[in-house]
Amino acid sequence: MTSPPADNQDQAVTRNPLATTLAGLELATPLVLLSGCVGFGDSLTRVAGFSHASVGAVILKGTTLQPSVGAAPPRLVETPSGLLNAIGLQNPGVHAVVQRILPRLDMSQTHYIANVCGGTVEEYREVSAVFDDSPIAAIELNISCPNIKAGGIHFGTDPAMAAAVTAACRRVTSKPLLVKLSPSAQPIAAVAQAVTEAGADALCAINTVPGLAIDVHRRRAILGAGGGGLSGPAIRPIALRKVSEVLGVARRAGVPVLGQGGVSNTEDVLAMLLLGARAVGLGTVLFDDPLAANHICAGLLHYLERYGLAGLDDLRLQEDSAGTEGTHGGHKAQHPPH
Amino acid sequence: MSHDDKKVHLSEAVLLSQQPVAGSAYVMLQLQAPELAGSARPGQFVQIRLDSLLPLRRALSILDAEPATGRLTLLVQQHGQTGERLARVRPGEGLNILGPLGHGFQYHRRRPVPVLVGEGFHAVSLLFLARFLQRQGIEPYLWLAATPPLVQRGENPDEVERWLQRLGIAAHLALPRPTAAPEYQDIGLHLGEQVATFLHRQPEHQSLCELFVAGSMGLLRVFAQLATSQRLPAQASAFAPMACALGGCWGCAVPLRGHKHQRMARACVEGPVLPLRRLVPPPG
């Protein structure tokens, strides 16, 4: 396993080349383990060789105000290069998370970020308020939930509703507020703009892509919930495109982007970083390789060394070759890569 | 046999041999995987990476594990995606394997007569349990349904019986009866009758025996009723599609009855072995 170098007395020698920041959080590496893939932070620790030293932050499972039993099984179906899931936000409720689960986490190892879900603006606000009074490092709003007061329209597809959720939560927490954007938003930049103006400290793109699978023999949807969210390598090109669109807004607002969607290896992480993401999420890849963060950190260090780069801040995309003007850190690129 | 605190290992296991068994319906894979073999217990499973283009690993029950030699044995159906891809792996090559996973069967010394009942491919976990108990000097009673996929249609179940004998396992193979009832429900009832008769003829076993069941929901229903009527403790292996297999994704939820409410349990970490009567919905 290769981990970023640890700090010691000589900082000039031991500067961690993989260090980055996200919404005020200092991350040891740009890799963030995504909500829905690592439970409440204890699943990967079962695996021999796993270390939080390779992980910048961990986003916990989606949490609602009240306990939720989740969707009826089956909840998963594999698709070509993808995974369709409908878990239905099964969770024990925010009070149980704060009282019973958070005390078990070693907050010194990495940053733990809560993932807040709700059916109303009020629920988002209440859950965020409870997490505000907890040791959690930051709050991510999952705005891909249906608004039960607006006929089930997803908060994340409407700029006004997305802004309302963000503003309500902003008022009850001083912790860094991340907003996870839905690829269904058209255009995604409009929602990014709305939540940024409402107080988001970082933008996360993208959530899963809505999908459906049919069992032709039973003549019904395979998933118990009907439709689900598609993740995995199948959505990677969509994610890159959506991230590039979000980056335009993020640069102007001066907020960082957590790029995610089908990221599976070092090259995928580099693509997101070169595009301009400040950090990169790992999700479905963890089901294939629970030690993916270790392997990708080693790959990133190798890449930096190969091209003589001191750190992630030196990563630059060929100027505007992706039509984004995006760079790591939100500044316009001035130099082509070495 | 509680091993929740044990570490899960991700390793490159060397394939030692591939052996067709039971009329080539199955392939028995023997792997050199010392860390896994050292801690694996009956009812637990592993996940194998088939292909870098497939996002999910494939979950396979463990057929046997020998800590002394570091050998792990798995059984794979010859036909289907998993069997076809694994058939390309040659002895000496590596297989990326994650395990041991899940919560296995628990043998209780206060119930020293284990009665094992299996149907379908999930019965593999019971074969490991049978061998595990035999190595401790405990002789289990094992009933297996001679139905697909354990025995393919039109094939002679003797093939399976001979293979089990080579493994050192004595089993009662139950053949399906011609009936209008659904095949699996029928074989479940048939097995239920056989085990009930066994218990009736040996009443001294009733207070000593524990049921270990693996199969379809039809089979589980039959044996949940038997366990209730005979007041027998019973464990069953549940199946659900899995992604992480580490308790992180909640994808493998199975409904579990509680005292007041039903809840969703994660088959990968709370199971796959769970209390039988809590897995089966109440009649009606």
Nearest Cα to Cα of residue A196 among A260, A259, A126, A254: A254
| CATH for A33 | 3.20.20.70
Q: What tens digit of pLDDT does each residue of A219-233 get? A: 999 999 999 999 999
Q: What is the pLDDT of residue B3?
A: 41
- A10, part of any domain: no
- Number of A–B residue contacts, CB under 8 Å: 110
Structure tokens at B262: 């039903």
* Contact with chain A for residue B127, Cβ under 8 A: no
* Contact with chain B for residue A316, Cβ under 8 A: no
A253-262: buried (b, 16+ CB within 10 Å) or exposed (e) per residue? bebbbbbbbb
- A237, part of any domain: yes
Strands (E), chain A: 20-22, 25-27, 31-33, 57-63, 76-79, 82-85, 111-116, 138-142, 177-180, 202-205, 209-211, 214-215, 220-221, 228-231, 257-259, 279-282
Is the pLDDT at A272 greater than 90, yes or no? yes
Is the pLDDT at B163 greater than 90, yes or no? no
Is the pLDDT at B72 greater than 70, yes or no? yes
Task: Identify the band that residue B155 occupies on the pLDDT scale cut at 50, 70 and 90.
Answer: low
Of residues B166 and B68, the one with the higher pLDDT is B68
Strands (E), chain B: 9-21, 26-32, 45-48, 58-66, 71-77, 94-101, 113-118, 141-145, 172-174, 209-214, 234-237, 253-257, 262-266, 273-275
Q: What tens digit of pLDDT does each residue of B101-113 get? A: 999 999 999 999 9
Distance from B240 to chain A by nearest Cα, in Å?
7
B128-154: buried (b, 16+ CB within 10 Å) or exposed (e) per residue? bbbbbbeeeeeebbbbbbbbbbbbbee
* Contact with chain A for residue B80, Cβ under 8 A: no
Q: What tens digit of pLDDT does each residue of A87-104 get? A: 999 999 999 999 999 999
Q: Count the Cβ atoms, other than its own, within 10 Å of residue B44.
A: 26
Of residues B28 and B26, the one with the higher pLDDT is B28
What's the structural domain count of chain A? 1
CA distances from A59 to B24, B179, B193 (A): 47, 54, 51
- A30, part of any domain: yes
Q: What is the pLDDT of residue B152?
A: 61
Q: Which domain holds residue A173?
A: 15-71+89-209+232-321
Q: What is the pLDDT of residue A187?
A: 95
Of residues A25 and B23, the one with the higher pLDDT is A25
Q: What is the pLDDT of residue B149?
A: 65
Q: What is the pLDDT of residue B119?
A: 87
* Contact with chain A for residue B59, Cβ under 8 A: no
Is the pLDDT at A310 greater than 90, yes or no? yes
Structure tokens at B151: 């025995």
- Chain A 217-276, CB below 8 Å of chain B: which residues? 232-233
* Contact with chain A for residue B217, Cβ under 8 A: no
Distance from A134 to chain B by nearest Cα, in Å?
22
User: Which residues, 6+ apart, have CB-to-CB distance to A305 below 8 Å?
Assistant: none
- A8, part of any domain: no
B154 and B163 Cβ atoms separated by less than 8 Å? no
Catalytic residue among A145, A169, A204, A297: A145
Is the pLDDT at A10 greater than 70, yes or no? no
* Mean pLDDT, rounded, for B187-198: 88
- Put simply, the answer to whether A81 touches B264 (Cβ < 8 Å) is no
A330 φψ region: left (φ > 0), alpha (ψ -120 to 50), beta (else): left
Task: Identify the band that residue A174 occupies on the pLDDT scale cut at 50, 70 and 90.
Answer: very high
Is the pLDDT at A255 greater than 60, yes or no? yes
- A173, part of any domain: yes
Is the pLDDT at A9 greater than 50, yes or no? no
Q: What tens digit of pLDDT does each residue of B201-241 get? A: 888 888 899 999 998 888 899 999 999 999 999 999 988 89
Specify the long-range contacts of residues A14-17, CB closer than 8 Å, at least 24 apart.
A15/A310, A15/A311, A16/A311, A17/A301, A17/A304, A17/A309, A17/A310, A17/A311, A17/A312
**A145 a catalytic residue:** yes
Among all residues of chain B, which has the CA nearest to that of A44? Answer: B246
Structure tokens at B38: 């050292």
Of residues B27 and B66, the one with the higher pLDDT is B66
From chain A, the residues in CB contact with B243 under 8 A are 76, 83, 85, 284, 287
Q: What tens digit of pLDDT does each residue of B1-20 get? A: 344 456 999 999 999 999 88
- A9, part of any domain: no
Residue count of chain A: 338
* Contact with chain B for residue A90, Cβ under 8 A: yes
Q: What is the pLDDT of residue A7?
A: 45
Task: Identify the band that residue A328 occupies on the pLDDT scale cut at 50, 70 and 90.
Answer: very low
Mean pLDDT, all residues of chain A: 91
Specify the long-range contacts of residues B12-15, CB closer than 8 Å, at least 24 apart.
B12/B94, B12/B95, B12/B96, B12/B97, B13/B72, B13/B94, B13/B95, B13/B96, B13/B97, B14/B92, B14/B93, B14/B94, B14/B95, B15/B89, B15/B90, B15/B91, B15/B92, B15/B93, B15/B94, B15/B95
Question: Which of B53, B56, B252, B270 best probes binding to A when mutated, by most A CB atoms within 10 angstroms?
Answer: B56
- Put simply, the answer to whether B10 touches A290 (Cβ < 8 Å) is yes
- A225, part of any domain: no
* Contact with chain B for residue A47, Cβ under 8 A: yes
Question: Which of A63, A76, A285 best probes binding to B when mutated, by most B CB atoms within 10 angstroms?
Answer: A76
Q: What is the predicted ipTM?
A: 0.90
Region of poorest pLDDT, from A266-275, B104-113, B173-182: B173-182
- A215, part of any domain: no
Share of chain B above pLDDT 70, in %: 89
C-alpha to C-alpha distance for B280 and B282, rounded to whole angstroms: 6
